[in-house]
């Protein structure tokens, strides 16, 4: 980081290689996206929305991008292959009016195909108009600690007819999905439903980490 660079001086930091590798690993949630079910609504070129979720080291690649079609809105529906604790989001656009100006996030704590309720854990951010932002939007972990499906909505930009995004980075931790309920169903076919009544879910209290 900046402190390490100041301590070592320019060109003398031996730990930066390891630090860069660590940072890349932290931003590796693109590997945990269920690509077959990933959706990008209002994309001009089919399949281009999936291109913006890539490795941290490739965030500066300007040849891969998604551009909106009819208006400035873009909506991503991002299913993961397990449970995700989302810690941060980084969005990179063009240094002009096509850069997204606002981002809204919502998440499901259960996979949509398992009868999950309405999305919860909404968060929003006003984005700065700069092509290579170094600061990511931090997510409140209390709201995004058990995410199977993330919706990411960009409702407007800085005045252009269409919105263009080069890179979306997702920072956090991934845990493999467990399917215990399938096992329970096979050998407890005649179980008493009262024994398996689910407790009522209550919203978690947000906290500052």
Tally of CA atoms within 13 A in the half-sphere of 179 that contains its CB: 6
Nearest to 55 by CA among 81, 84, 80, 90: 90
User: Domain residues of the chain, as ranges?
Assistant: 25-113+147-175
pLDDT at 64: 95
The pLDDT assigned to 130 comes to 62
Cα(209)–Cα(207) distance, rounded to whole angstroms? 6
Task: Dump pLDDT digits (tens) for 85-142.
Answer: 999 999 999 889 999 999 999 987 655 444 444 444 557 777 877 655 556 777 777 7
Write down the pLDDT at residue 12.
42
For 83-108, b where at least 16 C-beta lie within 10 A, e where not — what string? bbbbbbbbbbbbeebbbbbebebbbb
Rounded to two decimals, the pTM is 0.70
pLDDT at position 168: 95
pLDDT by 10s per residue, the chain, length 209: 443 333 444 444 444 566 666 777 889 999 999 999 999 999 999 999 999 999 999 999 999 999 999 999 999 999 999 999 999 999 999 889 999 999 999 987 655 444 444 444 557 777 877 655 556 777 777 788 889 999 999 999 999 999 999 999 999 999 987 655 444 434 444 455 555 555 454 444 444 43
At 42 the pLDDT is: 98
By CB atoms closer than 10 A (0-12, 13-18, 19+), residue 6 is exposed
Say if residues 121 and 201 touch (Cβ distance below 8 Å): no
List 176's β-bridge partners, or say none. 82
Reply yes or no on domain 25-113+147-175 having CATH 2.60.120.470. yes
């Amino acid at each position: 980081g900046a402190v390490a660079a100041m301590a070592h001086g320019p060109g003398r930091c031996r730990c930066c290689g390891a630090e860069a590798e660590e940072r890349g690993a932290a931003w590796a949630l693109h590997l945990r996206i269920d690509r077959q079910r990933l959706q990008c609504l209002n994309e001009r070129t089919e399949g281009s929305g999936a291109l913006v979720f890539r490795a941290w080291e490739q965030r500066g690649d300007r040849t891969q991008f998604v551009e909106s079609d009819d208006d400035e809105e873009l909506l991503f529906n991002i299913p993961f292959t397990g449970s995700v604790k989302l810690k941060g989001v980084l969005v990179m656009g063009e240094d002009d009016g096509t850069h997204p100006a606002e981002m809204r996030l919502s998440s499901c704590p259960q996979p949509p195909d398992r009868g999950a309720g309405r999305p919860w854990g909404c968060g929003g951010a006003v984005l700065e108009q700069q092509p290579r932002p170094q600061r990511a939007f931090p997510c409140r972990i209390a709201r995004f600690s058990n995410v199977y499906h993330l919706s990411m909505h960009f409702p407007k930009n800085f005045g252009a007819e269409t919105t263009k995004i080069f890179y979306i980075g997702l920072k956090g931790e991934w845990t493999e999905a467990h399917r215990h309920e399938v096992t329970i169903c096979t050998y407890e076919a005649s179980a008493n439903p009262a024994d398996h009544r689910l407790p009522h879910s209550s919203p978690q209290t947000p906290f500052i980490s």
